[in-house]
Amino acid sequence: MSNSELVRRYFCAYENKDPNSVESLLPNDFVFTSPYDYRIDRETYFKRCWPY
């Protein structure tokens, strides 16, 4: 899958509030950084960013 296709699928899952699709797209060693989070792991990302 190309990077652009990956981004499209991720954004579609985000719009549809579909964390299961996001989980299938992200690798197990995924880390996330934002102004509020520094290098949080995949589990923490889903707890903080996908609470519902």
Rg (CA), the chain: 11
**pLDDT of residue 8 exceeding 80:** yes
Element (H, E) at 28: none
Q: What is the pTM of this model?
A: 0.76
Structure token pair of residue 21:
């699709």
pLDDT band (50, 70, 90) for residue 17: very high
Q: What is the pLDDT of residue 39?
A: 97
**pLDDT of residue 51 exceeding 80:** no
Question: Is residue 32 within 8 Å of 40, Cβ to Cβ?
Answer: yes
Structure token pair of residue 4:
């652009």
Element (H, E) at 32: strand 31-32
